[in-house]
Structures are given as structure tokens and as C-alpha cells.
Amino acid sequence: MAATPSPQEARAGKPVSPPLDLQRPELYINRELSQLAFNRRVFEQARDPRVPLLERLRFMCITSSNLDEFFEVRVAGLVTQAEFGGTQTGPDGLTPSEALRRISEATHALVGDQYECLNEDLLPALAEQGIRFLRREEWDKAKTRWLQGYFENEIVPVITPIRLDPAHPFPRTLNKSLNFIVSLQGKDAFGNKDGMAIVPAPRALPRIIRFPEDISDGPYDFVFLSSAIHAFVDALFPGMRATGCYQFRVTRNSDLFVDTEEVDDLLRALEGELPSRRYGDAVRLEVADNCPAELAGFLLRRFELTEQDLYQVKGPVNLYRLMSLPDMLERPDLKYPSFTPGLPPQVPQGINMFTAISRGDILLHHPFQSFTPVVEFIRQSAADPNVIAIKQTLYRTGLDSVMVQALLEAARNDKEVTVVVELRARFDEEVNIEIATKLQEMGVHVVYGIVGYKTHAKMLMVVRRESGRLQRYVHLGTGNYHQRTARIYTDYGLFTRDEEIGQDVHNIFMQLTTHSKNPPLNRLLQSPFSLQPGILERIEREAANARKGKRARIIVKVNGLVSQPVIQALYAASRDGVKIDLVVRGQCCLRPGVPGVSENITVRSIVGRFLEHTRVFYFGNNGNPELFCASADWMPRNLVQRVEQCVPILGKKHRTRIIEDLELYLADNAQAWLMQPDGSYVRATIGKDETPISAQQSLLERYAEH
């Protein structure tokens, strides 16, 4: 690729070549392959000896769960496109069929490495710590007798084996459920000879069974449910003999489709669609590695899949079920050290949150700092007689959420409570429907946002009467109002009573409930209206500063970078001399370091104990920096297909603090992965004379209590 001179070079008399086509497919990475690359980085945590052993197992499980969702949504979407003759998936130029082929190659390699790590690394390391998964040849008489009793008393009463014949066709198998295909020999009670059967394992059964201590040889002896069923499957077919028993699992298309133009009630429409998620079209088949080819082929035909969709694994077909193991073990020495999230000095324990916010904006950085101030804010608002109204967006929240309980309490106390519940938060639809129903029953005004646009903004506004006038208090965040994820996701949250920000938040809530046209916002940027134009405008401003020889700098931290207009703007700014550092956790379709295009751009991904979730945008602006925190990533869905908020950080102290955090991430050499021009990632290395720097560990030491 021929490099085009920068404007500075052109002014210096160097020849000017034609403008570079920034839409060329080779400048973009396929988003699905980029997502797989992120999952590979997560998996590498399972192989990292620096990570505590049980945490390595968790990372293995997270990799498995990520792959499940990847197939349920991304691969399923590509399959649908391929079936309808789609020819292109995006800027990278790959057709759906080409993308599916490359996804299959990358995923087969990843899955092979997963099970090699499990069998040759993790399980032996666990056994050395007295945590053993016993194979059948390792059961002595006492264990075999106990497990047979467990099988007869706990498994047989709830299991339903299905013999395959014309009267019992192949059963509908639930998405991601554990099943066994069994080959049978002999005659059944009706004289039918030989055949096959399907044995579904009910989800109520634990996938890991612990042997009692009195028959164990060590502190923690376990067996997989699949091993127990394999051992005693004959008992399910009296008079016949099982000549083979092989576990399998099918993954199905789980993306819900609701035609919003034809729906009168979104909640009822989603309720009707949820059951279909369990039985969508098959997209992946996992089987035991010892399953005979004829049985694997039989299953592929039943699910209308090809060899490309078959994954033969040496171990449990659902590794995610091992996620329960660390919580079953009292082994803190094999886990991350515990910590207590800190409280900022502006918010000591027990303070009135309105008093605290009135003294100045408050910035929280979770999980290093506690989520408790957010909970206290909504609790105090529910009880405060001076609070008139509460408005909040809910995207992902637990059924047992203290936030929801506080909103219910506020309604009981006759506050005017309005909640925007995004019913279509993927895989949380059922929970969100229950939350919406519960809130409505208490008299809360519940709306579901804008048809065709998910409401992904994280906003909480409280209106309080003070000294004869109404005062707005606002919380804006980069993450969900969810107490559990606040312990494992990194997110920023800002409390403020700034009048212009409060007016902006009020206007967005009015828009969500009335669909009215907003006047221009004072401070906030909002998608699908001003956020993408605002980002592009600021990138161009940095480029213009660079062209004039002024200071120009961009630092961005997001979870995904896919938007083609934004990538093109970054490429153009790089060519003008802007130094651009991108911290992108997951999907990144931009290629850094391409000659003549992106030499001034670096991309790094931080993968560690906590899931990086903050969205921060820094623009140097010739020494007068602008800094934003947002609910939105730089992806098409966030910038043009959702309602998102992006808030400027106005206080100099808070701006300085976030910039220092960003510099930590850019200096990280312990948990960082550096993206190469070809889209691959290499681990950052610690030089001979360098000090190891982990951004997450440094932030724990800076903000948390120990």
C-alpha cells in the first residue's frame, strides 16, 4: 500500500499522491473474528500461571460462556444471512459464507486448546491441591456403591430416557442442554431389537457431584454428572445393554425477533417470543470425542448441520458448568485476594447524599470504589419527604435488586416514579419483564423506551424541593445499575447537581416518555442524535490542530470499536499527525500501525481480574482538554441504533483523576495485549529494567480498602 504524504509533507514540497481510499476492505478487521480474538485473550488467562488456580478455571468457564453467546447471536446471524444469499457482512468485505468458514477454523482451534488446557493443566493442578475429578477407573467399591445409590435416588426419578422409533421420534432438545445418545443391543419389552435412545439430563441436576467425606481419599473428591450417567445408563433400559453412551449438546439461534411495526404491546410480544429461544435453529453441535462417526453424522443430519459445525471435545460438553466449583471450595489461597471497595472522602459512611452532592460533583470508579453511594442515593430519595420525583433507566438489573426495591418503596411513599425499562436487553428479557410488571403493580410509570431503539443510557434523576424551589440531582454512569456486576465490572459513575446537566437529563427522559423533539442539549451528547456527530467533530478538530502544528491528542477507552465512520475519521487524523491511543477491550475493526494510514495509532486490550467496561473519550484540544464518560461504545448499534448518554467531566480534579487512570492503562505491561497491523495480539512484555504495572492492581491499591 503506497503511503500518501501528510499535509505537513505536502507543504514542505513533497509530491502529493491521490487521496487514500479509507474504505478499502483490507483496512478493516471482521468484527466476528475480532470478537473471537478477544475470547482467545480471555482464554489465555486460564493458561497464565500468575493467575490463582481457581480463577484460571473461572476464565476457562467465561471463555465457554462467551462462545455460547457468540454462536447464539453472531454466528446465528451470519448463518441466516448465508441462507438468504447475503454477499457481504461489513467493511471487511467478507461474505457470510467466508466469515463462517474462518470462524469455524478459529473456533475449532480455540476449543481444542481449551480442552487441552483443562485435561493437561488445570485438572492435574487441581488434583495436586486435593481437588480431584475421579474417572470411573478411579472409583473403589465404596464410591461405586454410593454413586449407584445416588443415581437411583437422585437421577432416575427425574430423568426421561426416550427410545427412538416411529412412535418416539427424535425429541426436541433444549438449547445448550446436556443430552446423551445411547446405542442399544438386545430386545425391549415389546420384542423390538437393538436401536438408539436419547437421554436428556434435566437442568435441575447438578453437573458436578461431590463424594461424601467418609468415602473420599482427599478433601475434595468430585465426579461429573456425565460420568455417573455413563456408568449406570444400562439401568434406564432393563433387558437391554447400552453398547455406547455419548454426551452431546446443541447450540441454537437465540436472537429474539419482534416486528415492532406490527406489535401493539412490546411486553406481551416478548413474552410470546421467549419460549422460542429454547428451540431456535441449530448452529453448533458438540459431542464427546469418542462418539462414533456414524452417531455424530446421525446427529448432524437431525440438526441440519454440517461437519463445519461439529465440535468433538474431550471432557464435559459444557465447560461453563464448572463455574460453580470455586464457590463450593473454601480455598481462598487459590482465589484472588478479597478486598473492600473504598469510599471517596466526600461520601463517608452514613452521610446524607444530597448534602454530599451539594458540596461538589462526586466521581466513583467501580469496583475499586463502592457502589453503596448509588444504593444509598436511591434509598434516601425514596424516604426523603422533600423528594418529589424519581426517574431512572434500567437495562440489566437483578430481580432481587435493591435499586428496584427502593423504587417500589418510593412509589409506596407517593413519590412520582418513572422507570424506563429496556425489555430487549439480550438474555435479560425475562427478568426485565418481571421487574416491569412488579413496578407497574405498585403504580410506577413504566415505559419501554423508543420502538426500534434500545435504551442503553444509564441515568438516574431525583427532583427535590429545597428552599422553595425544585433542584435536580443526577447520577450518570458507564455501567448498569446492578450490584453484582458493580463488583466485577470497571465503571465510572458521576453524581452532580449541575443545572445544565440536570436539564439535559430531564429533556432526555421527556423524550423517552413522549417521543418529543428535544431542544439542543447544553452539556450532554446523546445518540442517536448528537453523539456520533460530536465524536467526529472532535476527531476532526484534533486533526485540524495537528495540521496547524498545534498540540493534538486522542485517548479512547471503549469495549468495542466497529463504527466505520469513526474508524475512517481516526485514520484521517492519524495521517494528519494526531497521536491516538485506543484501549479497546473486545471487538476492534481498526488496524493500527498500517503505513500511510495508522502509524500514529496504538490499540491495546486489558484483560484481567475485572471486566473492563468504562467508556472514556479524551480530546487534547490544544491544551484545553475535553473528557467524556459515556454509556456507549464506538459501534454502529450504540451510535445510531440506541439511546445513549455521554457526559462531560467538568471538574478539573475529576478530569485529572481519569486522565491518570488512562495513563495507567497505557503503561500496563502485566495484563495488556498489543494489537498488530494484521489484527493479531501479542502480550505486552516487561523489560529487563522495567517495573511490572497492572492498571487494575494499581487502582485497587489506590482506591480500595484492604
Residues noted as catalytic: 456
* d(C-alpha 555, C-alpha 324), whole Å: 38
* d(C-alpha 122, C-alpha 60), whole Å: 9
* d(C-alpha 44, C-alpha 684), whole Å: 13
Rg (CA), the chain: 28
For residue 28, is it left (φ>0), alpha (ψ between -120 and 50) or beta? Answer: beta
Phi/psi at 577 (5° precision) = 105, 10
Residue with cell 457526559: 647
Answer yes or no: are the C-beta atoms of 228 and 151 closer than 8 Å.
yes
Q: In what helix (H) or strand (E) does residue 200 lie, and over which residues does it extend?
A: strand 193-200
Q: Closest Cα to residue 447, out of 399, 405, 394? A: 394
Q: Closest Cα to residue 113, out of 297, 315, 306, 252? A: 315
Q: How many helices (H) and strands (E) does the chain have?
A: 21, 27
DSSP state letters, 424-440:
TSTT-HHHHHHHHHHHH
* d(C-alpha 117, C-alpha 60), whole Å: 9
* d(C-alpha 617, C-alpha 570), whole Å: 13
Residue 576 one-letter amino acid: D
- 346-350 own/partner pairs: CB under 8 Å, 24+ apart: 347/373
- Cell triple for 240: 437391554
Q: In what helix (H) or strand (E) does residue 9 lie, and over which residues does it extend?
A: helix 7-11
CA 532 to chain centre: 23
* d(C-alpha 624, C-alpha 240), whole Å: 81
Residue with cell 471486566: 611
Answer yes or no: are the C-beta atoms of 35 and 70 closer than 8 Å.
yes
Q: Closest Cα to residue 483, out of 332, 357, 341? A: 341
Residue with cell 475434595: 220
Answer yes or no: are the C-beta atoms of 572 and 541 closer than 8 Å.
no
